Structure 1
Amino acid sequence: MRNFIAGIIAAIGFGTTAQACSIDTACSVGARDYYIAMPEQTGEPVPAVVYLHGAGGSGAGALRNRTMVSAFNARGFAVIAPDGVARAGRNGRGWGFHPSSGRQMDEVAFLIAVRDDAIARFGLDTDQIVLGGFSIGGSMAAYTACLAPDAFSAYAPMGGNFWRPHPVECEGPVRLLHTHGWTDGTVPLEGRVLNNVPANDPGARAQGDVFHAMSIWRETNECMYLKADRFVTEGAFWRRIWDRCADGTALELAIFPGGHRVPQGWADLVVDWFEDL
């Protein structure tokens, strides 16, 4: 799989430019850009979260969530926000996350190219880079975890995971934290069919079921039981944690009382989870 992705990167030709770039100035990788918010420098390699925006968003727009960005930076993490692909006839950008898009592996290759470019430019810690995202950005993170589990150190999708038809299997075990709003009506925990098409329409485009996604991750991580091994019901997030799984894996579902949004405390949740691995 690594050689296959490397071949895609070479074929597409993700070139980079050497100009200075930051939270306000784009770093170019091929035909697309990313933006980065760096923490205070200590002279040591910096861990990072690559954060994928939702539908109609952009990398620059994602970093306008200064509450989230400042929280990651305060914990010593850089925040990298790539641009998705332009949406034909519509404003903003999206991701070729869905199997029917035909773009999944191109997107994975782009994200790996962004990772490598940021490592080279900013001296990031190659062993501490988390891929996360919101809504369809969360779905893109989940499909990347499924298709190329070794591409990032861990995965933190939020408000989006697999779509129907769900994957039959994934390439290998992962460390994954999925976060979701209990009352999310845009991407409900059970998913929904888009554009008011009946659910039994064979051409319906439908979001996946997060609970079914977690069953796929349990199987992928070789977890012993269906039931979570630990439950946390204190604080802003109610968490279900599977511990008895393959060595080196991690799997957790965190639910918060809210809808389709980035919740307060998500950055600290991700960092705490990742640092405890």
Structure 2
Amino acid sequence: MRKALLGAAAAAVFALLAGVAAAGCGGEAGKCSAEGGNYHIALPERAAAAPVVMFLHGYGGSGSSVLRNRSLVEGLTRRGYAVIAPEGLRRDGSGPQSWGFGPFTGGRDEGAFFAAVLADAAARFGTSKSKTVLAGFSAGAFMVHYLACRDPAAFAAYAPVSGAFWRPQPERCAGPVRLLQVHGWSDEVVPLEGRVLGGGRFEQGDVFAALQVWRAANGCTSHAPDRAWSAEGLLRRRWDCGPRAGIELVLFDGGHTLPEGWAELMADWFEDLLAVR
């Protein structure tokens, strides 16, 4: 009885996503399993060969909470994207859900897990295996940076929001990479300059220092951006350093949050990349 009630509640949550096809794999609505863990998925009207945005939740979040963000999910599915939201592991086995990156390990090869999720979704729903973006917020954004650093070819592009590396940050990363860094100018949880946590045991890194690592990975010849502009309240910088080697920084007037219109911003950026591929 309890399982039936939980299933009905989950179904009601996904029914709230009007216009979004929240797909399931049996059991809890919208929840699928791949080697290494579980994920949730919302599909556009046409799932066949649909590009994929895999969005990683923040510390203490969940894949199901990502799909409850209507602005994010509907903004992407309207553009023809499938949205995949994997589940992080519980920190130390019983704590909040998060990801294994940098100074934090979760006992799972996150890159292998994400690859398994992409393959499972492609097999079940026909989503694209190549037009893929790994995005994430906060702890999810940290994970995006570390995977892109280790294996830039794992996804076609990367789109972290409100997160970079932890110190000591990687001295160098593999490349080239396509990366869209979005960050709130007044973020106090993950400040642009970083901060010290855990009584000095941990230190969030500086976003601008991370960008320097990415420019080196992309073989950029100058730290100066190729284009600098502002539009619609956003401060933007772009470095074009060769094929598949593009970096963009977008700063918005806000704190530790996913900014309004991020889905459309990210889709425009990714589609511009595909157009010049």
Normalising by structure 1, we get a TM-score of: 0.85
CA-CA distance at 1:173 after TM superposition: 1.1
Alignment pair present for 1:265 and 2:261: yes
Normalising by structure 2, report the TM-score. 0.85
Name the residue aligned to 2:222. 225
Paired with 2:112 and 2:36, the residues of 1 have a C-alpha distance of: 13
Question: What is the deviation of 1:235?
Answer: 1.0
Matched, 1:205 2:202: yes
CA distance in 1, matches of 2:28, 2:45: 14
Q: Percent identity?
A: 50
How far is the alpha carbon of 1:258 from its aligned partner?
0.2
> Deviation of residue 25 (structure 1)?
2.6
Q: Distance in 2 between matches of 1:49 and 1:67?
A: 14
Structure 2: unaligned runs, 5 residues or longer: 1-23
Q: Distance in 2 between matches of 1:23 and 1:50?
A: 20
Give the SS at the match of 2:40.
Answer: strand
Alignment of 1:145-160 (within 5 A): 145-160=148-163
Q: Distance in 2 between matches of 1:230 and 1:255?
A: 14
Q: Unpaired segments of 5 or more residues in structure 1?
A: 1-18, 199-203
Alpha carbons 1:135, 1:158 under 8 Å: kept: yes
Taking the aligned partners of 2:94 and 2:120, their CA distance within structure 1 comes to 29
Q: Which runs of 4+ in 1 moved over 6 A?
A: none
Across the aligned residues of Structure 1 and Structure 2, the Cα RMSD in angstroms comes to 1.9
Residues 228-243 of structure 1 mapped to structure 2, 5 A cutoff: 228-243=225-240
| SS in structure 2 at match of 1:246 | coil
Residue type of the alignment partner of 1:81:
A
The aligned residue for residue 40 of structure 2 is 35
Cα separation, 2, equivalents of 1:262 and 1:39:
21
- For the residue of structure 1 that corresponds to 2:119, the secondary structure is helix
Q: Aligned to 2:165, what secondary structure does the other structure show?
A: coil
Say which SS state the counterpart of residue 272 (structure 1) adopts: helix
Which residue of structure 2 lines up, in the alignment, with residue 191 of structure 1? 194
2:29 aligned to which of 24, 28, 47? 24
Query: What is aligned with 2:71?
Result: 67
SS of the residue aligned with 2:141? helix
Instruction: Give 1:30 deviation, angstroms.
Output: 3.0
Matches of 1:216 and 1:131 in 2, distance apart?
A: 19
The alpha-carbon deviation at position 192 of structure 1 amounts to 0.4
